[in-house]
Structure 1
């Protein structure tokens, strides 16, 4: 039984490797390198998470043919990219250009990182102030038992009123 299942599995295995391989003729090795670089940088509009070099979508095959044609025609990389962006939008670029519509994409992570650092600093400062206040209150707890000493600039009447309030709060 296991042999039969293994045989079936081996017979079905080649079906998963039916990806079409494009064979393009290049006039120079430099053109081939440019083609590989451009197809690696351009995103497939249909697949959305693959570049056109790796995608098996028919649209990606059309885009590879178009890039090949333009590379062989001697067009610059920028003109090829501009053509693709004009036709399919900024989405086809894995690294979008910096302009007024993409500044948040480029600088947003740094802004969020700065805000996060600021929040951490404020939280740690707040905790430190609470610890100082807690230690001061623990120190003043001992002075409550003996009566408050007006060392913080309080008049004797204010100190007496404070002692009464603290005593009433302690009794409750």
Structure 2
């Protein structure tokens, strides 16, 4: 059973995502194209980069990346090409500009807010005065002695 699972894992491996016919002959250009593949999100899978996806759209995107790189386009030009067609969503790491500043700042702001609230809570707890036990009245003390005698 373990062998069968290993065979399925090997066959489903992302090694098979890149078809050798898609590869460029120049190793330097191929390295750039692969780096760009990892920075682009597959719009079909939505959680995988183009490099790891086997979807038809990802195959087309890999071919397009290689065509643009072989034509001499810069990495920024390739990214702009995909952003112009599919929006910022196509980037695995959205750019920090315009409306995305709020998204980039939200994480650290929430952390600072949570730390501040935790600090205020702990500081408030340390300042509270423990309730003092009230002394028994003479009648209560007499009743207590009476109960304890029995």
Shorter-chain TM-score range? 0.7 to 0.9
- Tell me what 1:104 maps to: 102
Taking structure 1 as the reference length, what is the TM-score of the superposition? 0.66
Corresponding residue to 1:114 among 104, 112, 115: 112
From the superposition, tell whether residues 46 and 101 of structure 1 become closer, same or farther in structure 2 (CA, over 3 Å): same
Is the Cα–Cα contact under 8 Å of residues 18 and 51 in structure 2 kept in the other structure? no
- Tell me what 1:71 maps to: 69
- Tell me what 1:32 maps to: 30
- Tell me what 1:163 maps to: none
Q: CA deviation at 1:21?
A: 4.1
CA separation in 2, counterparts of 1:35 and 1:48?
20
The reply on whether 1:138 has 2:136 as its aligned counterpart is: no
Name structure 1 gaps, 5 residues minimum: 1-5, 146-172
CA deviations 1:59-97 (Å, max 9, x no partner) are 001100100100100100000000000111101111111
- Tell me what 1:48 maps to: 46
Q: CA deviation at 1:125?
A: 1.3
CA separation in 1, counterparts of 2:40 and 2:17?
19
Is the Cα–Cα contact under 8 Å of residues 44 and 55 in structure 1 kept in the other structure? yes
Is the Cα–Cα contact under 8 Å of residues 83 and 91 in structure 2 kept in the other structure? yes
Q: CA deviation at 1:104?
A: 2.0
- Tell me what 1:156 maps to: none
CA deviations 1:143-170 (Å, max 9, x no partner) are xx9xxxxxxxxxxxxxxxxxxxxxxxxx
Q: CA deviation at 1:30?
A: 1.3
Taking structure 2 as the reference length, what is the TM-score of the superposition? 0.75
Q: How many residues align?
A: 129
How large is the RMSD of aligned CA atoms in angstroms?
Answer: 2.5
Q: SS state of the match for residue 98, structure 1?
A: coil
- Tell me what 1:127 maps to: 125
